[in-house]
């Protein structure tokens, strides 16, 4: 199966709940309610990331890929280093973008800093090709994320927030339409500004919506542990408007992480 890299990679990175603070296995400030560890976006970055020697593995897919009848899939292996509470966290990932042949690989990097009030800021780059191939260029971004501290939005039993948002801006996929979109008269550019909103329902999972600069997406995410290993599963619907793509598609991702 030959993949459409431009469509699957954003979903894979946006949906992994391992981009939450809990993946770092660090101790939270007891005066602050930290963001929960469910996924907080469908196709957009969040500022929080893995850190403190955490390894994470994930895979995801889309059905179908835009303007085709074929399904896509990709896999990621990454590591989170550093301490964003005291200085910075660094998250580096290697992605297989053709899991049928395992011949094409790209990388992504995310650097972030926690600001001390359940919020963080991050910068990153996606789709840095390590091999020949790929149908999407590099995308750079900056993003700010926050877990709101209002009394009605706190889960006091586990000291986490229920409502989270991110806002950011970027290049590449955050505003450039695909050649197929241009051919189908959907314009050449989106907003280059993106955002996401996630709310915890019944102390169990997050419902999520995000705008990735070219289209609207929505879904749900749940995290859980098997032993001491955290797992995350996210599923959603992408391209809910006619601004890009040729219809609504199903996207999903799952992953797990462990501390060295």
- Tens digit of each residue's pLDDT (9 = 90 or more) over 62-108: 899 889 898 888 899 999 999 999 999 999 999 988 777 788 899 99
- Tens digit of each residue's pLDDT (9 = 90 or more) over 5-46: 444 455 455 555 454 545 444 444 567 899 988 999 999 999
How many angstroms separate the first and last alpha carbons of the chain? Answer: 34
How distant, in Å, are the alpha carbons of 108, 139, 181 from that of 90?
Answer: 11, 17, 34
Helices (H) and strands (E) counted in the chain, each on its own, are 2, 15
pLDDT at 103: 83
Instruction: Round the CA-based radius of gyration of the chain to a whole number and report it.
Output: 17
If one counts every other C-beta atom within 10 angstroms of the C-beta of residue 92, the result is 15
Q: Which DSSP category does 168 fall into?
A: E
Assign 1 a pLDDT band (cuts: 50, 70, 90). Answer: very low
pLDDT at 230: 85
Residue 218: pLDDT above 70? Answer: yes
- Tens digit of each residue's pLDDT (9 = 90 or more) over 148-205: 999 999 998 889 999 999 999 999 999 999 999 999 999 999 999 999 999 999 878 9
For residues 166 and 145, is the Cβ–Cβ distance under 8 A? yes
- For residues 179 and 136, give the distance between their C-alpha atoms in angstroms, rounded to a whole number: 11
* Residue 191 CB burial class (10 angstroms; 0-12, 13-18, ≥19): middle
pLDDT at 228: 82
> In terms of Cα–Cα distance, which of 111, 182, 108 is closest to 138?
108
Helices (H), the chain: 5-15, 179-183
57 half-sphere exposure, CB direction, 13 A CA radius: 3
Name all domains of the chain by residue range, CATH numbers in brackets: 5-259 (2.40.160.40)
- For residues 90 and 112, give the distance between their C-alpha atoms in angstroms, rounded to a whole number: 7
Q: How confident is the model over 220-245, as a mean pLDDT? A: 91
pLDDT at 183: 96
Which residues are CB-neighbours of 155 under 8 A, at least 6 positions away? 33, 36, 161, 162, 200, 203
Long-range pairs, 111-117, Cβ under 8 A, ≥24: 112/47, 112/48, 112/49, 112/84, 112/88, 113/84, 113/87, 113/88, 113/89, 114/21, 114/48, 114/84, 114/85, 114/89, 116/29, 116/32, 116/85, 117/32, 117/146, 117/149
pLDDT at 134: 65
pLDDT at 6: 45
pLDDT at 149: 94
Phi-psi region of 240 (alpha: psi -120 to 50; beta: other; left: phi over 0): alpha
């Amino acid at each position: 199966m030959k993949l459409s890299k431009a469509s699957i990679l954003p979903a894979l990175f946006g949906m992994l709940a391992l981009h939450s603070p809990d993946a770092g296995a660090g101790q939270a400030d007891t005066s602050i309610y930290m963001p929960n560890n469910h996924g907080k976006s469908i196709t957009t970055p969040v500022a929080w990331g893995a850190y403190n020697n955490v390894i994470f593995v994930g895979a995801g897919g889309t059905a179908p890929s835009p303007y085709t009848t074929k399904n896509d899939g990709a896999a990621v292996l990454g590591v989170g280093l550093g301490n964003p509470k005291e200085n910075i966290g660094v998250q580096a990932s290697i992605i297989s973008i053709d899991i049928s042949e395992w011949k094409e690989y790209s990388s992504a990097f995310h650097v972030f800093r926690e600001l001390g009030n359940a919020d963080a800021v991050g910068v990153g780059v996606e789709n840095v090709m390590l091999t020949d191939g790929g149908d999407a260029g590099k995308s750079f971004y900056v993003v700010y994320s926050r877990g709101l501290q209002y009394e009605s939005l706190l889960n006091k039993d586990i000291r986490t927030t229920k409502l989270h948002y991110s806002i950011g801006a970027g290049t590449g996929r955050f505003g450039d339409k695909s050649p197929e979109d241009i051919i189908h008269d959907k314009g050449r550019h989106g907003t280059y500004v993106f955002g996401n909103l996630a709310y915890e329902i019944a102390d169990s999972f997050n419902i999520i919506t995000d705008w990735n600069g070219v289209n609207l997406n929505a879904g749900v995410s749940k995290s859980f542990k098997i032993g001491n290993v955290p797992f995350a599963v996210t599923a959603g619907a992408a391209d809910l408007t006619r601004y890009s793509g040729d219809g609504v598609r199903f996207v999903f991702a799952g992953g797990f992480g462990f501390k060295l």
